[in-house]
Structure 1
Amino acid sequence: MTLIHPVEHCCSMADVRRNIDALDARIVALMAERSGYMTQAARIKHDPAQIHDQARIDFIVQRVKAMATAQGAPAAVIEAAYRAMIDASIEFERGEFQRLRQEG
Protein backbone atom coordinates (compact mmCIF):
# COMPACT_ATOMS: atom_id res chain seq x y z
CA MET A 1 0.00 0.00 0.00
CA THR A 2 1.64 3.24 -1.15
CA LEU A 3 0.59 6.60 0.18
CA ILE A 4 0.42 9.21 -2.54
CA HIS A 5 0.38 11.98 0.07
CA PRO A 6 2.44 10.82 3.06
CA VAL A 7 1.52 12.52 6.29
CA GLU A 8 3.89 14.72 8.24
CA HIS A 9 5.62 13.00 11.17
CA CYS A 10 4.08 14.39 14.35
CA CYS A 11 5.76 14.45 17.76
CA SER A 12 2.76 15.59 19.78
CA MET A 13 -1.01 15.72 19.73
CA ALA A 14 -0.67 19.46 19.10
CA ASP A 15 1.15 18.61 15.84
CA VAL A 16 -1.55 16.09 14.90
CA ARG A 17 -4.34 18.57 15.63
CA ARG A 18 -2.61 21.39 13.75
CA ASN A 19 -2.34 19.20 10.67
CA ILE A 20 -5.93 17.96 10.97
CA ASP A 21 -7.16 21.54 11.39
CA ALA A 22 -5.31 22.56 8.21
CA LEU A 23 -6.83 19.62 6.34
CA ASP A 24 -10.28 20.48 7.66
CA ALA A 25 -9.95 23.99 6.24
CA ARG A 26 -9.12 22.53 2.82
CA ILE A 27 -11.91 19.95 3.03
CA VAL A 28 -14.51 22.58 3.97
CA ALA A 29 -13.41 24.80 1.07
CA LEU A 30 -13.76 21.86 -1.33
CA MET A 31 -17.16 20.93 0.12
CA ALA A 32 -18.30 24.54 -0.30
CA GLU A 33 -17.23 24.38 -3.94
CA ARG A 34 -19.04 21.04 -4.32
CA SER A 35 -22.19 22.61 -2.85
CA GLY A 36 -22.04 25.27 -5.53
CA TYR A 37 -22.25 22.52 -8.12
CA MET A 38 -25.23 21.04 -6.28
CA THR A 39 -26.97 24.39 -6.71
CA GLN A 40 -26.09 24.28 -10.42
CA ALA A 41 -27.53 20.75 -10.65
CA ALA A 42 -30.73 21.93 -8.97
CA ARG A 43 -31.00 24.74 -11.51
CA ILE A 44 -30.39 22.44 -14.49
CA LYS A 45 -32.64 19.54 -13.50
CA HIS A 46 -36.27 19.81 -14.55
CA ASP A 47 -37.81 17.11 -12.36
CA PRO A 48 -37.25 16.62 -8.62
CA ALA A 49 -37.14 12.86 -9.28
CA GLN A 50 -33.79 13.49 -10.99
CA ILE A 51 -32.23 14.64 -7.72
CA HIS A 52 -31.69 11.13 -6.34
CA ASP A 53 -29.75 9.20 -8.99
CA GLN A 54 -28.84 5.81 -7.51
CA ALA A 55 -26.68 4.81 -10.47
CA ARG A 56 -24.61 7.99 -10.06
CA ILE A 57 -24.33 7.41 -6.31
CA ASP A 58 -23.12 3.85 -6.87
CA PHE A 59 -20.60 5.08 -9.44
CA ILE A 60 -19.24 7.77 -7.11
CA VAL A 61 -18.94 5.38 -4.16
CA GLN A 62 -17.10 2.75 -6.20
CA ARG A 63 -14.79 5.39 -7.68
CA VAL A 64 -13.85 6.96 -4.34
CA LYS A 65 -13.31 3.55 -2.74
CA ALA A 66 -10.88 2.69 -5.55
CA MET A 67 -9.16 6.06 -5.13
CA ALA A 68 -8.90 5.48 -1.38
CA THR A 69 -7.36 2.06 -1.88
CA ALA A 70 -4.87 3.45 -4.39
CA GLN A 71 -3.82 6.11 -1.87
CA GLY A 72 -3.56 3.73 1.07
CA ALA A 73 -6.61 5.15 2.83
CA PRO A 74 -9.23 3.00 4.55
CA ALA A 75 -11.86 2.47 1.85
CA ALA A 76 -14.62 1.79 4.40
CA VAL A 77 -14.01 5.15 6.09
CA ILE A 78 -14.00 6.97 2.76
CA GLU A 79 -17.17 5.18 1.68
CA ALA A 80 -18.97 6.08 4.93
CA ALA A 81 -17.90 9.72 4.67
CA TYR A 82 -18.97 9.95 1.03
CA ARG A 83 -22.32 8.29 1.64
CA ALA A 84 -23.02 10.80 4.43
CA MET A 85 -21.91 13.69 2.21
CA ILE A 86 -24.01 12.43 -0.70
CA ASP A 87 -27.10 12.07 1.51
CA ALA A 88 -26.62 15.60 2.85
CA SER A 89 -25.96 16.90 -0.68
CA ILE A 90 -29.19 15.35 -1.95
CA GLU A 91 -31.15 17.10 0.79
CA PHE A 92 -29.34 20.36 0.04
CA GLU A 93 -30.09 19.98 -3.67
CA ARG A 94 -33.78 19.32 -2.92
CA GLY A 95 -33.89 22.54 -0.94
CA GLU A 96 -32.12 24.43 -3.71
CA PHE A 97 -34.47 22.95 -6.31
CA GLN A 98 -37.48 24.27 -4.37
CA ARG A 99 -35.86 27.62 -3.58
CA LEU A 100 -34.92 28.26 -7.20
CA ARG A 101 -38.43 27.45 -8.43
CA GLN A 102 -40.02 29.67 -5.79
CA GLU A 103 -37.76 32.55 -6.75
CA GLY A 104 -38.79 31.99 -10.36
Structure 2
Amino acid sequence: MDVKKCETLEELREEIDKVDEKIVELIALRNDYIKQAANFKHTVEEIKADDRIDDVLNHVRHKALTLGVSPNMVADIYKQMIDAMVEIEIAELRNKGSY
Protein backbone atom coordinates (compact mmCIF):
# COMPACT_ATOMS: atom_id res chain seq x y z
CA MET A 1 0.00 0.00 0.00
CA ASP A 2 1.49 3.28 -1.07
CA VAL A 3 0.56 6.35 0.91
CA LYS A 4 0.85 9.64 -0.92
CA LYS A 5 2.95 12.27 0.83
CA CYS A 6 0.57 15.21 1.15
CA GLU A 7 1.78 18.79 1.25
CA THR A 8 -1.30 20.45 2.74
CA LEU A 9 -4.17 19.60 5.05
CA GLU A 10 -6.59 20.15 2.16
CA GLU A 11 -4.70 17.66 0.00
CA LEU A 12 -4.64 15.18 2.88
CA ARG A 13 -8.39 15.51 3.36
CA GLU A 14 -8.95 14.96 -0.36
CA GLU A 15 -6.96 11.72 -0.18
CA ILE A 16 -8.92 10.59 2.88
CA ASP A 17 -12.16 11.34 1.03
CA LYS A 18 -10.96 9.16 -1.86
CA VAL A 19 -10.20 6.32 0.53
CA ASP A 20 -13.61 6.73 2.18
CA GLU A 21 -15.32 6.47 -1.22
CA LYS A 22 -13.44 3.25 -1.96
CA ILE A 23 -14.38 1.83 1.46
CA VAL A 24 -18.07 2.56 0.83
CA GLU A 25 -17.84 1.00 -2.65
CA LEU A 26 -16.30 -2.15 -1.15
CA ILE A 27 -18.98 -2.32 1.54
CA ALA A 28 -21.62 -2.04 -1.20
CA LEU A 29 -19.90 -4.85 -3.11
CA ARG A 30 -19.82 -7.02 0.01
CA ASN A 31 -23.49 -6.25 0.58
CA ASP A 32 -24.33 -7.41 -2.96
CA TYR A 33 -22.57 -10.72 -2.29
CA ILE A 34 -24.44 -11.07 1.01
CA LYS A 35 -27.73 -10.72 -0.84
CA GLN A 36 -26.65 -13.53 -3.16
CA ALA A 37 -25.78 -15.73 -0.19
CA ALA A 38 -29.47 -15.99 0.64
CA ASN A 39 -29.86 -18.06 -2.54
CA PHE A 40 -27.73 -20.79 -0.98
CA LYS A 41 -29.36 -20.85 2.44
CA HIS A 42 -32.74 -22.10 3.53
CA THR A 43 -33.08 -21.06 7.17
CA VAL A 44 -32.36 -18.11 9.41
CA GLU A 45 -30.08 -20.38 11.43
CA GLU A 46 -27.92 -20.93 8.34
CA ILE A 47 -27.61 -17.18 7.97
CA LYS A 48 -26.70 -16.67 11.62
CA ALA A 49 -23.74 -19.02 11.27
CA ASP A 50 -21.67 -18.23 14.35
CA ASP A 51 -18.72 -20.32 13.12
CA ARG A 52 -18.56 -18.36 9.87
CA ILE A 53 -18.85 -15.05 11.69
CA ASP A 54 -16.02 -16.08 14.02
CA ASP A 55 -13.90 -17.06 10.99
CA VAL A 56 -14.50 -13.69 9.34
CA LEU A 57 -13.68 -11.78 12.53
CA ASN A 58 -10.51 -13.80 13.09
CA HIS A 59 -9.48 -13.24 9.48
CA VAL A 60 -9.96 -9.47 9.57
CA ARG A 61 -8.28 -9.20 12.98
CA HIS A 62 -5.24 -11.02 11.60
CA LYS A 63 -5.20 -8.82 8.47
CA ALA A 64 -5.43 -5.71 10.63
CA LEU A 65 -2.45 -6.88 12.69
CA THR A 66 -0.37 -7.45 9.56
CA LEU A 67 -1.20 -3.93 8.37
CA GLY A 68 -0.51 -2.23 11.70
CA VAL A 69 -4.15 -1.31 12.33
CA SER A 70 -5.97 -1.90 15.60
CA PRO A 71 -7.49 -5.39 15.37
CA ASN A 72 -10.09 -4.43 17.98
CA MET A 73 -11.24 -1.45 15.93
CA VAL A 74 -11.45 -3.52 12.75
CA ALA A 75 -13.31 -6.33 14.53
CA ASP A 76 -15.77 -3.85 16.04
CA ILE A 77 -16.46 -2.32 12.62
CA TYR A 78 -16.96 -5.78 11.15
CA LYS A 79 -19.25 -6.90 13.96
CA GLN A 80 -21.51 -3.95 13.28
CA MET A 81 -21.39 -4.51 9.52
CA ILE A 82 -22.04 -8.25 9.87
CA ASP A 83 -25.00 -7.66 12.18
CA ALA A 84 -26.56 -5.30 9.64
CA MET A 85 -25.82 -7.60 6.72
CA VAL A 86 -27.26 -10.62 8.53
CA GLU A 87 -30.53 -8.69 8.75
CA ILE A 88 -30.32 -7.90 5.03
CA GLU A 89 -29.69 -11.56 4.23
CA ILE A 90 -32.63 -12.62 6.40
CA ALA A 91 -34.84 -10.15 4.53
CA GLU A 92 -33.63 -11.59 1.21
CA LEU A 93 -34.41 -15.10 2.44
CA ARG A 94 -37.90 -14.06 3.51
CA ASN A 95 -38.50 -12.28 0.20
CA LYS A 96 -37.87 -15.52 -1.65
CA GLY A 97 -40.22 -17.29 0.78
CA SER A 98 -37.82 -19.97 2.01
CA TYR A 99 -37.74 -19.64 5.74
Say whether the fold is shared (TM-score over 0.5): yes
Partner residue, 1:30: 26
SS at match of 2:42: coil
Structure 1 gap segments, 5+ residues each: none
Q: Deviations over 1:47-89 (max 9, x none)?
A: 1211101111111111111111111111111111111111111
TM-score under structure 2 normalisation?
0.87
Q: Aligned-pair distance for 1:21?
A: 1.1
Q: CA deviation at 1:6?
A: 4.3
Match of 1:17 in 2: 13
Compare relative contact order (CA 8 Å, sep 6+) and give the higher one, 1 or 2. Answer: 1
Amino acid at match of 1:99: N
- CA shift, 1:29, in A, is 1.4
Does residue 80 in structure 1 map to residue 76 in structure 2? yes
Aligned length: 98
2:62 maps to what in 1? 66
2:53 paired residue among 38, 54, 57: 57
1:22 Cα offset (Å): 0.6
Matched-pair identity in %: 33
Aligned match of 2:91: 95
Structure 2: gaps (5+ residues): none
Local SS of the residue matching 1:9: coil
Helix, strand or coil for the counterpart of 1:101?
A: coil
